[in-house]
Structure 1
């Protein structure tokens, strides 16, 4: 009778281990399936066009440094930004724009046309702008060449 009791004893451990392994393998298989089907765009479709545009941007920055320093100074007492182009551009027809970029809120971004005085400077009022960090990006052309500079200011 004792031998029959030993044969009738039943444990769930082997089945639980098998079920746990099957569930784990199913989880790994699902993870691999999702990873394989994940769309990874490390390189854009128009990579070469973007590279050429970026090289043109680098050339603009290089030309700007070559003609002299473009200064962008925030004057808290006047609540204005003073933009000063180098004297080497005097006598040339200059056109462009000043982009006031707010990194934390794109809805506050503004674009102001470049309207220089005789001394190649422009005063941009900031009393309607929110206080905080701003990037001032200046894109302009003089003659046949294009130029670009940017600076970060803190409005107080």
Structure 2
């Protein structure tokens, strides 16, 4: 049987569609291609945006701000020296945009103006750091993206 160009074009088109469908199904079913949302409660988080904005402004108005640096033992957060660290209350939240299973939260329990996030908790890659803290009744917020 002799094939004409129309039959060849139809076969090629069918194979191309099968090829594309294979990749769509593969990406939607394999766990290694599973990308999580940055936050599950997006709309609830949007409602408190103004409070977070005000807390960030408070943090920016301080003389000095929280600094972070990588050291051998992990990630070191240093709070401003001009405030009494014993009055600081809050939490440190680290999350991986690529895998929500690696997210974790630590309470702020300072024994000095420095807080160490242990190396064993951080895998190499990008992390978002959010420190929500209060000092003398005022709310503060520190957000940074780090590559560990």
Query: Does TM, normalized by the shorter one, top 0.5?
Result: yes
User: How far off is 1:91 after superposition?
Assistant: 6.0
- Matched with 1:86 is 80
Structure 1 spans left out of the alignment, 5+ residues: 1-46
Determine if the alignment matches structure 1 residue 66 to structure 2 residue 72: no
Structure 2 counterpart of 1:143, from 136, 139, 143: 136
Gaps of 5+ in 2: 1-42
- Would you say how many aligned residue pairs link Structure 1 and Structure 2? 104
Hey, what's the Cα distance between the residues in 2 that align with 1:71 and 1:94? Answer: 16
1:131 aligned residue? 124
Matched ranges for 1:84-123 at <5 A:
84-90=78-84, 93-118=87-112, 120-123=113-116
Find the residue that maps to 1:86 and give its secondary structure. coil
Q: Tell me which residue corresponds to 1:33.
A: none
**Structure 1 residues 75-100: Cα deviation after superposition (integer angstroms, max 9, x where no partner):** 2xx14111111122226511111101
CA distance in 2, matches of 1:128, 1:140: 21
Q: TM-score, normalised by structure 1?
A: 0.60
Report the TM-score, using the length of structure 2 for normalisation: 0.63
Give the CA RMSD over aligned residues. Answer: 2.0
Distance across 2 between alignment mates of 1:92 and 1:123: 16
Counterpart-to-counterpart distance in 1, 2:100 and 2:132: 19
Q: Is the 8 A contact 2:133 2:140 kept in 1?
A: yes
Pick closer, same or farther for the CA change 1:74–1:91 going to 2, 3 Å. Answer: closer
Q: Output the CA distance in 2 between the equivalents of 1:128 and 1:60.
A: 27
CA distance in 2, matches of 1:111, 1:130: 15
Give, in angstroms, the shift of residue 107 of structure 1.
Answer: 1.1
1:92/1:129 Cα in 2 relative to 1: closer, same or farther (>3 Å)? closer
